[in-house]
Amino acid sequence: MPPDIEAIAEQVFVALADPSRRAILATLASGGPATATDLAGRLPITRQAIAKHLALLTDAGLVTAEPGERRRVRYRLRSAPMQVAQQFLAALARDWDRQLDALKDHLNRSA
């Protein structure tokens, strides 16, 4: 099966479009792997809602569940799909228009 880069990027952007999921991902990125209980303590989101969002994020491959202390499941951010989304953003952020204007200015100045 060929990798569907478009679908991977879409899942990242869909996940990031929701403020609660964005907060969960940001917390995992800044603080490292955490349990649903840890996240509920740090974010103004109910534990039930956090569990629902973590299930969605896990299905999308954006976080992965791993065994933590006292057999509690910890969630860890997966960077690979984020890097795919970043490729999409890199194309949007590459400003050749500005760069070519700078080249023209340079050529006119040195003429």
Partner 1 sequence: MGFPDRIERTVEVAHPPATVWAALTTAEGLSSWFGNTATIDLRPGGPARMTWSGGETAVMRVERVEEPTVFGFTWTIYGLPEDDPRRTYVEFTLEPVGAGTRLTVVESGFAQLPEDVYQKAFRGNTEGWASELGELVAYLDAA
Q: Is 98 in the site for partner 1 (CB under 8 A)?
A: no
Q: Mark 41-70 with x for binding to partner 1 (rule: CB under 8 A) and - for no binding.
A: -----------------x--x--xxxx---
Which CB atom, from 6 or from 46, has the smaller least distance to partner 1? 6
Q: Is 3 in the site for partner 1 (CB under 8 A)?
A: yes
Q: Is 17 in the site for partner 1 (CB under 8 A)?
A: no
User: Locate tokens 């039930």: which residue?
Assistant: 48
SS3 of 2-61: the string is CCCHHHHHHHHHHHHHCHHHHHHHHHHHHHCCEEHHHHHHHCCCCHHHHHHHHHHHHHCC
CA distance 96 to 49: 43
Task: Give the footprint of partner 1 on this chain (CB under 8 A).
Answer: 3, 5-6, 8-9, 58, 61, 64-67, 71, 73, 78, 80-81, 83-84, 86-94, 96-97, 99-100, 102-108, 110-111
